Amino acid sequence: MTEDHVFTLTQVERDQTRAVAEALAEVEPRLVDDRTWLDACRGMSAELPERLRRRLRAFLHDPQLDGVLLVRNLPVASTLAPTPTVYESVERAATPAAGTTALVSMQIGEVIAYRDEKSGALVQNVVPVAGREEQQSNAGSVPLELHVENAFHPHRPDMVALFCVRPDHEGGAGLRVASIRRATALLPYDVRKVLGEERFRTEVPPSFGAPGGQAPLHAILSGDFDDPDVRVDFHATHPADEQAADAMTVLRAALDTVTRAVHLRPGDLAVVDNRVALHGRTRFTPRYDGEDRWLHRTFIHLDHRKSRALRADNGQVLS
């Protein structure tokens, strides 16, 4: 990958960010999901370094070919708690790391969550969980298939932010990112046409109370023919007919060709544009010793109003 997608804070900018995150960590009741704290976070996100805010603004205008922005050299804590080990772990405490993740996310848009996923918490932990190694979720450690986040959901995130708190022991775990903007050029016209038709279904996870019956048909590519949005999860999306299956196979090969692995280091925050890029993860070996790989994750909507009917009291959680 060219380095166009990387933005590195200077030491001065890092210190400036640390000061904002530390001030935010003092805001009562020091809970991420609390409305008062979130209001403070939204406001304080305007105090992030100007160069970073400009870069985020440019990324919102155009996510470039890769559909990912990697912000490096954000502040990290000098002492860290052990990596959580439980399933569905979330970060309710407004630690500086959770605050940093929320500050950058709030500068991009509105942080949202789903009542039916990770108990509706806005900052979630991505950690390996013993016994779930083989699972196609962020608790696993086998390769995680490329996917658009919550591809089944009509109000899926526009952006996904992943902040590295702690890397895996061997530094081998890679966040995989594949951009449809890069893959489209590799797709024959006829394949693109099929992918643009409602010939695919994406399973709804049981936690979202899958209504009896089949998930609705949807297209994988939509919008502009030459610069489409993408909606597919290679674990959960299924073709409805043979031609659709063939088109998915070609799409998958094209995405595999353009996939890049990003090895996140502490203080790195990846912003993935969930409309034009898929993400996944390479294999790694957890030890479950409190020092395992640990990311904070947020979901971001760019037009909060669109999901208003699903959010009680104009809060952040969709139900």
Ligand X SMILES: O=C(O)CCC(=O)C(=O)O
Choose the stretch contacting Fe ion; rule: CB under 5 A; options: 7-15, 43-51, 127-135, 145-153: 145-153
| Binding to ligand X, residues 162-201 (CB under 6 A) | 175
Lookup result for tokens 């996100």: 45
> Taking the complex as a whole, how short is the minimal distance between the CB of residue 90 and Fe ion, in angstroms?
15
> Taking the complex as a whole, how short is the minimal distance between the CB of residue 312 and ligand X, in angstroms?
25
| 21 touching ligand X, by CB under 6 A | no
> Taking the complex as a whole, how short is the minimal distance between the CB of residue 281 and Fe ion, in angstroms?
8
Give yes or no for a contact between 200 and 244, defined as CB atoms under 8 angstroms apart. yes
Residue 166's binding partner out of ligand X, Fe ion, none, with CB under 5 to 8 Å set by partner kind: none
Residue 71's binding partner out of ligand X, Fe ion, none, with CB under 5 to 8 Å set by partner kind: none
9 or 146: whose CB is closer to ligand X? Answer: 146
As given in the structure block, the two tokens for residue 110 are 């509105």
> Taking the complex as a whole, how short is the minimal distance between the CB of residue 27 and Fe ion, in angstroms?
29
Candidates 239, 152, 137, 156; CA nearest to 204 is 152
As given in the structure block, the two tokens for residue 238 are 């299924």
Candidates 166, 184, 262, 255; CA nearest to 224 is 184
| 149 touching ligand X, by CB under 6 A | yes
Q: What is the DSSP string of 13-36?
A: HHHHHHHHHHHHHTSTT-BTT-HH
149 or 291: whose CB is closer to Fe ion? Answer: 149
As given in the structure block, the two tokens for residue 276 are 């034009």
Give yes or no for a contact between 114 and 298, defined as CB atoms under 8 angstroms apart. no
34 or 149: whose CB is closer to Fe ion? Answer: 149
The alpha helices in the chain, defined as continuous H runs, are 11-25, 35-44, 50-61, 96-108, 180-183, 189-195, 242-258
CA distances from 248 to 70, 146, 237 (A): 28, 13, 9
16 or 83: whose CB is closer to ligand X? Answer: 83
The residue of the chain with the least Cβ separation from Fe ion equals 149
Residue 159's binding partner out of Fe ion, ligand X, none, with CB under 5 to 8 Å set by partner kind: none
Give yes or no for a contact between 251 and 259, defined as CB atoms under 8 angstroms apart. no
Residue 101's binding partner out of Fe ion, ligand X, none, with CB under 5 to 8 Å set by partner kind: none
149 or 246: whose CB is closer to Fe ion? Answer: 149
| 126 touching ligand X, by CB under 6 A | yes
27 or 264: whose CB is closer to ligand X? Answer: 264
As given in the structure block, the two tokens for residue 44 are 């304080």
Q: Tell me the site size for Fe ion, rule CB under 5 A.
A: 1
Residue 181's binding partner out of Fe ion, ligand X, none, with CB under 5 to 8 Å set by partner kind: none
Residue 144's binding partner out of Fe ion, ligand X, none, with CB under 5 to 8 Å set by partner kind: ligand X
In three-state secondary structure terms, 73 is coil
Burial 103-130 (b: 16+ CB within 10 A, else e): bbbbbbbbbbbbebbbebbbbbbbbbbe
> Taking the complex as a whole, how short is the minimal distance between the CB of residue 127 and ligand X, in angstroms?
9
| Binding to ligand X, residues 289-308 (CB under 6 A) | 297
Give yes or no for a contact between 156 and 274, defined as CB atoms under 8 angstroms apart. yes
164 or 221: whose CB is closer to ligand X? Answer: 164
Residue 297's binding partner out of ligand X, Fe ion, none, with CB under 5 to 8 Å set by partner kind: ligand X
Interaction site with ligand X (CB under 6 A):
126, 138, 144, 149, 175, 279, 281, 297
